[in-house]
């Protein structure tokens, strides 16, 4: 399949244990409730790509929490997403917008997985609102195993001198390997400088998280130092937004893993399958995110060539899911 190597095929096979089986007894939301936090006046594409990829890779409910002025454009991209423009930047706040943290928490406490950062921007008020959310999210409602994915401006919060102390403290409140960070090469360097460490392993250990260090080869390392490398080729077109597709797919896989591991739904391997540990499911979720993103990029490049945009790639994400996990007969 797609020129994948045998060890990659083995991991894809194992990941079937993370994917819930569809049955007539399921109700809405059991196969994942995701909230993407990002989107501001300048960037409306990034959170959309993440949320859209999460939807078409199979999550049941995908919410998008964004800046007030980003809400309408993003709603216009898709009626499938539930867009909540409850965040306010410095401009909105001086033009009649009143920030209400309770509206935010009532949304977030329903969600199994949060993606924080795509297209968030660097406005001071937005960063403060999101930092508070990252701090409170692990203790909201009854769910204390909520997962968090940090990317883009969410990673800026981690590497910036002004916010890093609070962010590092906040990440400690999440369970082991419940936080995933997805830095590109430049973001990784900034994080390593701020944390004063010299390897991906030390980043993961210090934060108690999984790091997906993106590049030609994606390097995935968990908090115990387990290291996987994904050298599947993908495509050579480097348009902006491919990292957003990645966070959306990882979010869906973490939501699936929670459905099977935390909420005990049957997986594609059936009820008798020996369950995997959370550590293994979380690593597999990141590996599938990386593989499916590269597969979508390759498939889109084969279709449209060098004009490839993230919209082309995102359009392949559902097809990639079907190739990885062919549908059971209905």
Ligand X SMILES: NC(=O)C1=CN([C@@H]2O[C@H](COP(=O)(O)OP(=O)(O)OC[C@H]3O[C@@H](n4cnc5c(N)ncnc54)[C@H](O)[C@@H]3O)[C@@H](O)[C@H]2O)[C@@H](O)CC1
Ligand Y SMILES: Nc1ncnc2c1ncn2[C@@H]1O[C@H](COP(=O)(O)OP(=O)(O)OP(=O)(O)O)[C@@H](O)[C@H]1O
Residue 240 interacting with ligand X (CB under 6 A): yes
Strand partners, 180: 149, 210
- Which CB sits closer to ligand Y, 59 or 310? 310
Contacts of 278 by beta carbon, 8 Å cutoff, 6+ apart:
175, 176, 177, 178, 257, 261
Least distance (Å) between residue 287 CB and ligand X: 20
Among 20, 85, 88, 241, the residue binding ligand X under the rule CB under 6 A is: 241
- Taking the least distance from each CB to ligand X, the nearer of 153 and 201 is 153
Residue 184 CB-density burial (10 A; 0-12 exposed, 13-18 middle, 19+ buried): middle
DSSP annotation of 181 reads: E
Nearest approach in angstroms of CB 186 to ligand X is: 4
Radius of gyration of the chain from its Cα atoms, rounded to whole angstroms: 18
Residue 178 in contact with ligand Y, rule: CB under 6 A: no
If 0-12 CB within 10 Å is exposed, 13-18 middle and 19+ buried, where does residue 10 land?
exposed
Residue number with the shortest CB distance to ligand Y? Answer: 243
Whether residue 257 is annotated as binding a ligand: the answer is no
Question: Which option in ligand Y, ligand X, none does residue 242 bind, with CB closer than 5 to 8 A by kind?
Answer: ligand Y
CB 289 to ligand X: min, Å: 15
> Contact with ligand X (CB under 6 A): which of 13, 80, 169, 185?
185
Binding residue for ligand Y, selected from 188, 246, 284, 299, defined by CB under 6 A = 246
Q: Please give the C-alpha separations between residue 213 and each of 159, 242, 297, in angstroms, as whole numbers.
A: 15, 14, 18
User: Which of 60, 89, 244, 269 is the binder for ligand Y (CB under 6 A)?
Assistant: 244
One DSSP character per residue, 32-90 reads -EEEEE---SS-SHHHHHHHHHHHHHT-SEEEEEEEGGGHHHHHHH-SSSEEEEEE--H
Q: Beta strands 82-87 and 147-150: pairing type?
A: unpaired
Distance of alpha carbon 194 from alpha carbon 320, whole angstroms: 37
Nearer to ligand Y, 67 or 244 (CB): 244
Among ligand Y, ligand X, none, partner that 294 touches (CB below 5 to 8 angstroms by kind)? ligand Y
Asked whether residue 238 is marked as a ligand-binding residue, the answer is: yes
Q: Is 241 in the site for ligand Y (CB under 6 A)?
A: yes
Site for ligand X in 136-175 (CB under 6 A): 152-153
Cβ-closest position to ligand X: 45
CA distance 327 to 276: 22
Give residues with Cβ within 8 angstroms of 52, minimum separation 6: 77, 78, 80, 81, 248, 314
Select from ligand X, ligand Y, none the partner in contact with residue 120, using the beta carbon and a kind-dependent cut-off of 5 to 8 Å.
Answer: ligand X
Identified binder of ligand Y from the candidate list 290, 301, 320, 324, rule CB under 6 A:
290
Widest Cα–Cα separation across the chain: 58
Number of residues that make up the chain? 330
**CB under 5 to 8 A by kind: which of ligand X, ligand Y, none does 285 bind?**
none
Quote the least distance from Cβ 323 to ligand X, whole Å. Answer: 26
Binding residues, by number, are 119, 184-190, 214-218, 234-244
Interface residues with ligand X (CB under 6 A) are 43, 45-46, 118-121, 152-153, 184-186, 240-241, 243-244
Binding residues for (6S)-NADPHX, by number, are 119, 184-190, 244
Interface residues with ligand Y (CB under 6 A) are 152, 184, 214-216, 218, 234, 238, 240-244, 246, 290, 293-294
């Amino acid at each position: 399949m797609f020129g994948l190597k045998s060890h990659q095929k083995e991991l894809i096979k194992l990941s079937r244990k993370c994917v819930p089986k569809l049955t007539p007894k399921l109700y809405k939301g059991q196969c994942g409730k995701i909230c993407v936090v990002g989107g501001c006046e300048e960037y409306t594409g990034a959170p959309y790509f993440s949320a859209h990829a999460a939807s078409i890779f199979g999550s049941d409910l995908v919410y998008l929490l964004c800046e007030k002025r980003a809400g309408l454009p993003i709603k216009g991209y898709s009626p499938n997403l539930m867009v909540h423009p409850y965040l306010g930047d410095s401009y909105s706040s001086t033009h009649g917008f009143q920030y209400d943290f309770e509206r935010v928490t009532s949304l977030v406490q329903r969600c199994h997985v949060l993606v924080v950062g795509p297209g968030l921007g660097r406005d001071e008020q937005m960063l403060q609102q999101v930092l508070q959310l990252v701090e409170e999210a692990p203790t909201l409602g009854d769910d204390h195993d909520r997962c968090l994915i940090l990317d883009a401006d969410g990673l800026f919060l981690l590497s910036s001198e002004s916010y890093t102390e609070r962010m590092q403290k906040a990440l400690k409140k999440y369970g082991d390997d419940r936080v995933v960070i997805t830095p590109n090469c430049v973001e990784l360097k900034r994080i390593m400088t701020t944390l004063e460490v010299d390897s991906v392993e030390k980043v993961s250990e210090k934060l108690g998280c999984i790091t997906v260090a993106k590049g030609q080869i994606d390097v995935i390392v968990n908090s115990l130092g387990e290291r996987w490398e994904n050298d599947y080729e993908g495509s050579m077109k480097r348009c902006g937004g491919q990292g957003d597709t990645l966070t959306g797919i990882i979010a869906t896989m973490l939501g699936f893993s929670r459905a099977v591991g935390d909420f005990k739904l049957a997986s594609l391997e059936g009820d008798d399958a020996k369950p995997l540990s959370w550590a293994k499911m979380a690593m597999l979720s990141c590996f599938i995110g990386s593989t499916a993103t590269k597969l979508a990029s390759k498939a889109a490049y084969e279709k449209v060539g060098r004009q490839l945009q993230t919209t082309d790639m995102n359009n392949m994400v559902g097809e990639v899911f079907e190739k990885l996990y062919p549908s059971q007969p209905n």
